[in-house]
Amino acid sequence: MDIVFIKQLQVDTVIGVYDWEKTIKQRLVLDISLATDQRAAAEQDDIRLTLDYAVISERVIQFITAQPIELIETVAERVAQLLLTEFATNRVEITVSKPGAVAQAATVGVQITRYAKGERA
Ligand SMILES: Nc1nc2c(c(=O)[nH]1)N=C([C@H](O)[C@@H](O)CO)CN2
């Protein structure tokens, strides 16, 4: 399957478990991969036949920043379900990194793969 990807999408938002985190914005960095068949878009050279990474990037930023969230696991799961629901893809991979969370680490995060209903468990 072909892939449209978005790497290192930066989102500044209210994210975190602890009280002090609920009054500030912190940076999340997302890597997103969406399965799609690109052949028709390539044959016809038509953006309407593929997944528009610019549109998807804006939607993800708007969605994440709309409300505070505690866990990056929640961000990953909600973004995955959003993409499966709103865009023509049946498989998404999402990595959510929180580079400021652990001073001794370059970054920390979670990674998930989700399928549309009926595609795979
Ligand atoms: N698996 C996770 N572990 C932790 C998370 C998280 O979202 N998922 N969050 C925190 C705190 O918010 C932390 O980032 C504060 O520095 C701790 N562990």
Q: By CB neighbour count within 10 A (0-12 exposed, 13-18 middle, 19+ buried), where does 118 fall?
A: exposed
Orientation angle between helical segments 53-65 and 72-86, nearest 10 degrees? 140
Token digits of residue 14: 């209210």
pLDDT in tens, 57-76: 999 999 999 999 999 999 99
Instruction: Give me ligand 1 centre to Cα 17, in Å.
Output: 6
Going by pLDDT thresholds of 50, 70 and 90, the confidence category of residue 121 is low
Positive/negative CA dihedral, 82, 84, 89, 93: positive
Number of structural domains the chain divides into: 1
User: Would residue 120 count as lying in a domain?
Assistant: no
Here the ipTM equals 0.97
> Is the CB of residue 100 below 6 angstroms from any atom belonging to ligand 1?
no
> Is the CB of residue 76 below 6 angstroms from any atom belonging to ligand 1?
no
* pTM recorded for the entire structure: 0.96
User: Would residue 6 count as lying in a domain?
Assistant: yes
pLDDT at 120 over 90: no
Rounded to an integer, what distance in angstroms lies between the CA atom of residue 93 and that of residue 29?
A: 14
Token digits of residue 1: 């399957």
Domain that holds residue 10: 2-115
> Is the CB of residue 101 below 6 angstroms from any atom belonging to ligand 1?
yes
